[in-house]
């Protein structure tokens, strides 16, 4: 009987609220790889430095930490070859490591915000500084 009372807690602990969906795993994988690749400015100095930086970046993403650290441990050589082999796209190693599925899309390359949905900012709403009333300086009576 006590076991039945404990069963919901056991089930809840297997997959906490912070579990990531497969789409989020794919996104996090790409974010980690792109961040580290950008950290080295597309010029990875050595496998050891790359793996250390990947581990550091994995630890920054709490919900993806364990999965990320296991992938870095197992795939360090592969990731080094991918990042030093010329043109690097984070979706490719994530797909090969099975973090992404075939139909999942890569993260956008450009990081420019899309302002097309926001109305343009009109400067006419601000008062003209020449039209503001001026306050005379106080008389200096010393």
User: What is the domain partition of the chain in residue ranges?
Assistant: 17-101
How many angstroms separate the CA atoms of 34 and 142, rounded? 66
Percentage of the residues of the chain whose pLDDT score is greater than 70: 68
CATH of domain 17-101: 1.10.225.10
DSSP letter string over 77-123? HHHHHHHHSSS--THHHHHHTTSS-TTPPPPPS------TTSPPPPG
Distances (CA, A) of 112 to 48, 99, 109, 115, 116: 32, 26, 9, 9, 12
What pTM was computed for the model? 0.63
Residue 113 in this model has a pLDDT that exceeds 50 = no
Using CA atoms, how far apart are residues 4 and 6, in angstroms rounded to an integer? 5
Structure tokens at 89: 């796209």
Phi first, then psi: give them for residue 73, nearest 5 degrees. -65, -45
- 17-39 confidence digits (pLDDT tens): 457 787 889 999 999 999 999 99
More confident residue, 136 or 45: 45
47-60 and 65-84 helices, crossing angle to 10°:
150
């Amino acid at each position: 009987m006590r076991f039945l009372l404990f069963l919901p807690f056991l089930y809840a602990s297997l997959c906490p609220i912070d579990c990531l969906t497969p789409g989020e795993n794919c996104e996090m994988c790409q974010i980690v790889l792109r961040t580290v690749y950008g950290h080295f400015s597309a010029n990875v100095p050595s496998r050891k430095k790359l793996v250390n930086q990947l581990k550091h970046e994995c630890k920054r993403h709490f919900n993806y930490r364990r999965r990320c650290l296991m992938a870095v441990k197992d795939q360090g050589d592969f990731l080094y070859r991918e990042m030093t082999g010329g043109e690097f796209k984070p979706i490719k190693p994530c797909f090969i490591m099975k973090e992404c599925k075939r139909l999942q899309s890569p993260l956008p390359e450009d990081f420019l915000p899309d302002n097309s949905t926001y109305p343009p900012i009109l400067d006419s709403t601000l008062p003209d500084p020449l039209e503001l009333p001026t306050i005379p300086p106080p008389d200096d009576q010393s």
